[in-house]
């Protein structure tokens, strides 16, 4: 089976009781602005083509963003910031992401997260990260043949992704390299996998973008570097 089949299984996952309860509770109590909408309220699959050369790994869907629209990073301020940057680099067909069916296409990029369900306060537990790990490992396993680079948004994703890359056939360095904005390293080829470039960026959460800790220019710089390394 391919990515579409994986995603079809993923959206039925109920392995984390706390997150199942939260995603459904949020869905049952829409924000005023979205009162006429039916929330997705299920696991949110990765978004982008199965032959992506570049992956972007975030944290988890936002309660009223991905958990509402059913598409990763879609319908909230973090996503607006990310897709505007991807569009500026030429990796997205438009700078905005409203809902599935809005015409947004990603060019050679797959956007995903190590935890696929919205967590309370945007904070999954280590146990939830561990429980969701096989889904990300399977996704990277399927992306593997064409994948050349990964941009990781934030320390949580960085910590989550390195063991997942081990599951998917690369050899992550030990000890784990420290996360930082602009960090870049290369994982060597293995018997099963070609070399993979890893880059870190601060997460485009409002906490980072409102304070200027992450500017659009900073994210565009990392994405530009990653796109070049990915051959995009
Ligand atoms: Fe399943 Fe992952 Fe959602 Fe947990 S976070 S319920 S493992 S999809």
Q: In a 10 Å sphere around its CB, with 0-12 CB exposed, 13-18 middle and 19+ buried, how is residue 151 labelled?
A: buried
Q: Which fold has domain 3-230?
A: Uracil-DNA Glycosylase, subunit E (3.40.470)
ipTM of model over 0.85 = yes
Task: State the pTM of this model.
Answer: 0.97
Q: Rounded to the nearest 5°, which phi and psi values hold at 92?
A: -135, 145
128-139: b or e for each residue (b if 16 or more CB lie within 10 Å)?
A: bbebbbebbbbb
Work out which ligand 1 atom sits closest to the CA atom of 119: 5
Query: Is residue 152 helix, strand or coil?
Result: strand
What's the gap in Å between 16 CA and the centre of ligand 1? Answer: 6
Q: Rounded to the nearest 5°, which phi and psi values hold at 218?
A: -65, -40
Q: Rounded to the nearest 5°, which phi and psi values hold at 56?
A: -120, 120
Reading the chain (232 residues) residue by residue, the pLDDT tens digits are: 799 999 999 999 999 999 999 999 999 999 999 999 999 999 999 999 999 999 999 999 999 999 999 999 999 999 999 999 999 999 999 999 999 999 999 999 999 999 999 999 999 999 999 999 999 999 999 998 999 999 999 999 999 999 999 999 999 988 889 999 999 999 999 999 999 999 999 999 999 999 999 999 999 999 999 999 999 9
Pair 52, 147: CB distance under 8 Å: yes
Pair 48, 75: CB distance under 8 Å: no
What's the gap in Å between 135 CA and the centre of ligand 1? Answer: 8
What's the gap in Å between 202 CA and the centre of ligand 1? Answer: 24
Q: Which of 8, 10, 16, 124 maximizes ligand 1 atoms within 8 Å of its Cβ, making it the mutation to test the pocket?
A: 16
Question: What are the residue boundaries of the structural domains of the chain, listed by start?
Answer: 3-230
């Amino acid at each position: 089976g391919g990515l579409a089949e994986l995603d079809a299984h993923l959206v039925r996952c109920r392995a984390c009781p706390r997150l199942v309860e939260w995603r459904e509770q949020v869905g049952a109590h829409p924000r005023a602005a979205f009162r006429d909408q039916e929330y997705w309220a299920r696991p949110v699959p990765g978004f982008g083509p199965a032959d992506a050369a570049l992956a972007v790994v975030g944290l988890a869907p936002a309660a009223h963003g991905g958990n509402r629209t059913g598409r990763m990073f879609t319908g909230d301020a973090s996503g607006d910031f990310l897709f505007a940057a991807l569009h500026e680099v030429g990796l997205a067909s438009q700078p905005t992401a409203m809902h599935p069916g809005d015409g947004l296409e990603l060019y050679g990029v797959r956007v995903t997260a190590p935890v696929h369900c919205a967590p309370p306060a945007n904070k999954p537990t280590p146990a939830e990260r561990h429980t969701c790990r096989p889904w990300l490992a399977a996704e990277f396993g399927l992306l593997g043949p064409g994948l050349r680079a990964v941009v990781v948004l934030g320390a949580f994703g960085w910590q989550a992704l390195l063991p997942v890359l081990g599951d998917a056939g690369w050899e992550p360095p030990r000890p784990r390299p420290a996360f930082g904005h602009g960090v870049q390293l290369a994982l060597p080829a293995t018997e099963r996998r070609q070399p993979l470039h890893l880059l870190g960026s601060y997460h485009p959460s409002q906490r980072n973008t409102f304070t200027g800790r992450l500017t659009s220019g900073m994210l565009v710089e990392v994405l530009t570097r990653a796109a070049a390394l990915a051959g995009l």
